[in-house]
């Protein structure tokens, strides 16, 4: 203020008095001064500038500079002047006196000159103008921009009635939406100005960002696929796949609204203004050291992270998962799905089969960590070993039996029965039945154990060897004549071999003598069979005259039960 101004001096004096006196003292002084005030001041109706000397809830006491002090009802003040304070200058007019002699005052409303030409120019050019919010009205607020304007609440840039009320008394920048000079009706918009300012700041902020930058962001919202972060006016997307090297079930498990986190800018799209962010990229990719840390043949411990139809993923290290394929879960063929053996959270020991860091793949085996039962089987099931085990399945070509420890043995249809044709394995064995079999062969490369049933069953040859002795005389039919030997059928389906030796000619023996050595019982057995009588008529022919179909007498030279062989000599 200018101290040379007498009005200002009076203002300061009145302000000082207001600080030193109570409102009651001022009112008493006011009543005393009223009696001495000139009568014509009370009758004046012209504008008078006064100084506020006291303020109560209902009235304002104004010093009208030597003429008197009057009371101004606070309710008569315009909304923008409701916060009047001691020392303020105010223009009033005297409107009368009360019966007690109190001078009554009324405020003079002074409106700003309306520069309609300037307002019209701002409207046509869509320029931003400055104004002051004066009061709230139904549906919005009043704004003084050199003319009284209405700003709808929807165009105020506020979110609720509380924020709208806080605008009263504030200077704002607005854009004129419509103007009617005749009706003196103006509608203004603040929101469009705020949006333009926000867009400008957002554009400037976007261009200040660079790929690879690390900065802080505040989580604004969380979705099923990630989280949106405020980077200082620009939004960026932190995708769930870029939150952690570990598998993330849902973004809400990692971040929540309001969190401030460090992020790295992965990609900037200048066309769509999209910003891709990452958190896991702030730490080294664990796959870069996976090839060094995990090697083929190595045993490792891990946690089952998730199960699929084809196998189980095991977390070997943060961000490094390996796959146990279904085929590598058990030596047994009975595992049909991973959940038969494993569940999420299980700690397991596995063997690394292969590492492909470029593809981020590690092949694991659960069964290899348990030890290969086939290694022990090579010693346990040597050929000739007798086993007893249940039949687990029957196929057209044979039957499988369970040897335990995930091992199966196979009995081929050709090894199921002696001396008879088997059309189907189910004619011999049944599923679930325990059978006694002998190990015929074990193949390490093909991991197969071949078994036999018939090899443990006595054959016709076995029975013949059991029932006869060396040196015994028998009759037999010549089944085949070879260079130096004969194949002789000594019983149905039983054959022996007779070696021939060249002998000097001897005088023919009487037929009666030859016939006396014939085994009548054996001959009868042969005649009951399917053969016809021999075609040779000479009972004691020479070796050169022996032919297929002839029946002759033979002597058992040897019986080999292990190799199932019968050796004969011919009796002439």
**Are the C-beta atoms of 145 and 130 separated by less than 8 Å?**
yes
User: Which has the higher per-residue pLDDT, 103 or 139?
Assistant: 139
Mean pLDDT of 535-553: 66
Rounded Cα gap, residues 453 and 425, in angstroms? 11
Condensed to tens digits (0 to 9), the pLDDT of residues 458-490 reads 888 888 999 999 999 999 999 999 888 899 999
Percentage of the chain modeled with pLDDT above 70: 81
- What token pair was written down for 522? 């054996």
Mean pLDDT of 281-306: 86
Kindly list the distances between the CA atom of residue 267 and the CA atoms of 205, 215, 276, 334, in Å, as whole numbers in the listed order: 15, 14, 5, 49
The answer on pLDDT for 238 being more than 90 is yes
Give me the residue label for tokens 């664990």: 286
Provide the pLDDT confidence category of residue 407 given band limits of 50, 70 and 90: confident
Closest Cα to residue 411, out of 432, 391, 433, 427?
A: 391
Provide the pLDDT confidence category of residue 21 given band limits of 50, 70 and 90: very low
The answer on pLDDT for 134 being more than 70 is yes
The residues, ordered by sequence, that sit 6+ positions from 493 with a Cβ below 8 Å of its Cβ are 419, 460
The answer on pLDDT for 546 being more than 70 is yes
Closest Cα to residue 151, out of 170, 171, 169, 175?
A: 175
User: Which has the higher per-residue pLDDT, 444 or 65?
Assistant: 444
Write the DSSP assignment of 324-384 as a string of letters.
EEGGGS-SSTT--SGGGT--TT-EEEEEEEEEEGGGTEEEEESTGGG--HHHHHHHHT-TT
Mean pLDDT of 267-290: 88
Mean pLDDT (the chain) is 80
Provide the pLDDT confidence category of residue 101 given band limits of 50, 70 and 90: confident
Least confident of 199-203, 360-364, 468-472: 199-203
Mean pLDDT of 392-406: 88
Helix extents (H) in 133-271: 161-166, 191-208
User: Which has the higher per-residue pLDDT, 66 or 519?
Assistant: 66
The answer on pLDDT for 133 being more than 90 is yes
Rounded Cα gap, residues 485 and 358, in angstroms? 73
The answer on pLDDT for 105 being more than 50 is yes
Helix (H), strand (E) at residue 67: none
Does the pTM of the predicted model rise above 0.85? no
CB atoms within 10 A of CB 526: 22
Give me the residue label for tokens 């059991």: 466
Rounded Cα gap, residues 555 and 222, in angstroms? 101
Q: Which of helix, strand or coil describes residue 16?
A: helix
Torsion angles phi and psi, residue 275, rounded to 5: -120, 120
Provide the pLDDT confidence category of residue 114 given band limits of 50, 70 and 90: low
Mean pLDDT of 21-38: 47
- The structural domains of the chain, ordered by start, are 6-107 (2.40.50.140), 116-195 (2.40.50.140), 209-282 (2.40.50.140), 287-369 (2.40.50.140), 373-456 (2.40.50.140), 460-571 (2.40.50.140)
pLDDT of residue 104: 81
């Amino acid at each position: 203020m200018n101290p040379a101004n007498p009005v200002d001096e009076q203002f300061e004096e009145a302000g000082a008095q207001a600080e030193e006196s109570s409102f009651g003292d001022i009112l008493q002084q006011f009543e005393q001064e009223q009696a001495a005030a000139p009568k014509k001041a009370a009758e004046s109706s012209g504008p008078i500038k006064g100084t506020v000397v006291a303020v109560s809830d209902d009235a304002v006491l104004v010093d009208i500079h030597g003429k008197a002090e009057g009371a101004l009802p606070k309710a008569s003040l315009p909304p923008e002047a409701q916060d009047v304070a001691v020392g303020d200058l105010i223009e009033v007019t005297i409107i009368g006196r009360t019966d007690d002699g109190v001078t009554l005052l009324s405020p003079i409303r002074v409106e700003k000159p309306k520069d309609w030409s300037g307002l019209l120019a701002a409207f046509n050019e869509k320029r931003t103008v400055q104004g002051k919010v004066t009061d709230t009205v139904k549906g919005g607020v009043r704004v003084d921009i050199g003319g009284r304007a209405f700003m709808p609440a929807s165009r105020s840039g506020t979110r609720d009635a509380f924020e709208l009320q806080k605008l009263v008394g504030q200077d704002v920048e607005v854009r004129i939406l419509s103007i009617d000079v005749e009706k003196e009706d103006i509608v203004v918009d603040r929101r469009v100005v705020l949006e333009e300012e926000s867009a400008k700041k957002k554009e400037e902020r976007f261009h200040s960002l660079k790929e690879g930058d690390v900065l802080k962001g505040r989580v604004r919202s969380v979705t099923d696929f990630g989280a949106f972060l405020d980077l200082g006016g620009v939004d960026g997307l932190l995708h769930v796949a870029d939150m952690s090297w570990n598998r993330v079930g849902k973004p809400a498990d990692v971040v929540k609204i309001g969190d401030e986190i460090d992020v790295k800018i992965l990609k900037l799209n200048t066309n769509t203004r999209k910003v891709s962010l990452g958190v896991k990229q702030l730490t080294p990719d664990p796959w870069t050291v996976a090839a060094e840390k995990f090697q083929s043949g190595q045993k490792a411990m891990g946690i089952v992270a998730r199960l699929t139809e084809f196998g189980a993923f095991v977390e070997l290290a943060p961000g490094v998962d390996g796959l146990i394929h279904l085929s590598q879960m058990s030596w047994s063929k009975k595992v049909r799905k991973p959940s038969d053996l494993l569940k999420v959270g299980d700690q397991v020991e596995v063997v690394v089969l292969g590492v492909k860091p470029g593809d981020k793949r590690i092949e694991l085996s659960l069964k290899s960590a348990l030890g290969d039962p086939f290694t022990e089987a090579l010693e346990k099931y040597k050929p000739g070993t007798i086993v007893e085990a249940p039949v687990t399945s029957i196929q057209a070509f044979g039957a499988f039996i369970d040897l335990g420890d995930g091992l199966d043995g196979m009995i081929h249809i050709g090894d199921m029965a002696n001396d008879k044709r088997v059309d189907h394995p189910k004619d011999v064995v049944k599923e679930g039945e325990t059978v006694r079999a002998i190990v015929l062969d074990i193949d390490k490369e093909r991991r197969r154990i071949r078994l036999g049933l018939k090899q443990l069953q006595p054959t016709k040859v076995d029975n013949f060897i059991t029932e006869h002795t060396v040196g015994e005389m028998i009759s037999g039919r010549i089944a085949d004549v070879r260079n130096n030997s004969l194949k002789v059928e000594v019983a149905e389906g039983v054959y022996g071999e007779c070696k021939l030796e060249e002998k000097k000619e001897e005088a023919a023996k009487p037929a009666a003598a030859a016939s006396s050595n014939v085994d009548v019982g054996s001959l009868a057995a042969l005649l009951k069979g399917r053969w016809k009588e021999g075609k040779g008529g000479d009972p004691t022919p020479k070796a050169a005259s022996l032919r297929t179909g002839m029946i002759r007498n033979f002597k058992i030279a040897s019986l080999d039960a292990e190799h199932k062989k019968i050796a004969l000599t011919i009796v002439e």
